[in-house]
Amino acid sequence: MDRPGGFRSLLAEYGGIPREARLLIYLSIVPSFAIGFIYTDLSYFLPQVQGLAPTLAGVVITAMGVTLVAESIPLGIVADRYGRRKMLIVGNLCASLSLIGFALTKDFGLLLAVAVIEGTGEASFAVSTSALLADKAGNEKRTVAFALLTFIGWIAGALGGFAISSLFVFEGIGLTVSQAHVLLYVIVGLLNLSVTPLVFKVKEGEKTARRRSILPRKSAGVIKKYCVYSVLIAVGAGLFVPLMAYWFSAAYGVSDAVSGPVLGVTNLVTAGAVFVSPRLAKKAGLVGATVMTQAASTVFMVAVPLSPTFGVAASLYLVRVFLMNLSNPLTVSLIMGLVAPEERGMASGITAALWRLPNALSTTAGYAMIGEGLLDLPFFTATVLYVIGIGFFWAMFRGAKTPEEASASQGAGRGGTHGRPTPGAAS
């Protein structure tokens, strides 16, 4: 027999996820592979292969974020009113075309146009995926559904990072470094495009009635608090996370063909952590688990630039990613549980926009810091921002309970007090 709390009981928690929710999760595999690929390699590919100056490469990546911000709120309105599945299809198409576009041009103006397409894809994903999965999973299975989505996403993202090593194969058959990169980007883009028709197998959810206000009034309190925290973390993360392949090259002289697979390993390790995140959330709560893991990750983050060798730095970064991203499905589940169901698409759009813009802007600053040889500064600045952000999150949400957490606490404590009121749709 499996002991209480053992592996079988952990697996049992993932049972009972509704069919369409599982289908959405499985359909995320190839897009997650493509995202893992492009976010591992793009910061290296643009300056080192396409020949852009690091500052211009930063502008291209920033343009992706600016587009996401500009389009997230209007696309969130469209998704809530006319269909979240439609937005998911648009996102997959744009992501595929942008991969191919980045490979086929070196012109700065055209690369900016491709960045706009990529940003449109990110915005479409942001306003549709979380809201649609929350709709299909229901309250009781929402956290485990998001954990499974994140688990599979990290595995697929890791494979995307490992795919960069196929450059050695392409170069071995006679292709130049540039030709090998172009071929790989086109292959990944076409692979991602091939799954788009499968999204039609997910039924469209109910569309919400038109509202006079374009803003989510019922959920405004929760969203405002979360966005303050999110912006602080986003600015810190943007200084180094999208740039690790470039940072490893500047700090230790390793190419993307070496650092890419290493970054892929971080995805695999993180996937294992995410898989157990629902169990951690049950013990510490969604908020407590988030704060504990993110605080621990910050300690390892500040140690990365102090490392004497690539191997030590990569190992510390692996632990940092493991801890920080364990909380990803927990924070998404928390927000989707606290906001009003009819405002989930808009809430996803707003939170994504207010993550991506500061994240992209700080990426430009991170590029400049690394380019100037200030290799420690991105990590030390991020540490300060993380400490403030995590502290704010704890202060604002430590009494928050999602509907299923509130039900569990009421069931366990009938006749007593049940803690602070949940800052949900009415706050």
Please write the tens of the pLDDT for every residue from 253-262: 888 778 877 7
Q: Give phi and psi for 206, each to the nearest 5.
A: -70, 140
pLDDT at residue 408 is higher than 70:
no
Name the nearest CA neighbour of 343 among 229, 211, 224, 252.
211
Structurally, the chain folds into a number of domains equal to 1
6 falls within a domain: no
354 falls within a domain: yes
pLDDT at residue 330 is higher than 50:
yes
**Residue 326: which CATH number?**
1.20.1250.20
Percent of the chain with pLDDT over 70: 86
Amino acid at 349: G
Q: Which of 147-161, 213-227, 298-312 has the highest mean pLDDT?
A: 298-312
295 falls within a domain: yes
422 falls within a domain: no
420 falls within a domain: no
Structural domain for 104, as ranges:
17-202+213-412
158 falls within a domain: yes
281 falls within a domain: yes
Q: Give phi and psi for 401, each to the nearest 5.
A: -135, 130
Q: Which long-range contacts (CB under 8 A, 24 or more apart) does 205-213 make?
A: 205/83, 205/84, 205/85, 205/132, 205/135, 205/136, 207/80, 207/81, 207/82, 207/83, 208/80, 208/81, 208/342, 209/342, 210/81
What pTM, to 2 d.p., does this model score?
Answer: 0.66
Please write the tens of the pLDDT for every residue from 40-63: 788 788 988 888 888 888 889 878
pLDDT band at residue 384 using 50, 70 and 90 as cut-offs: very high
366 falls within a domain: yes
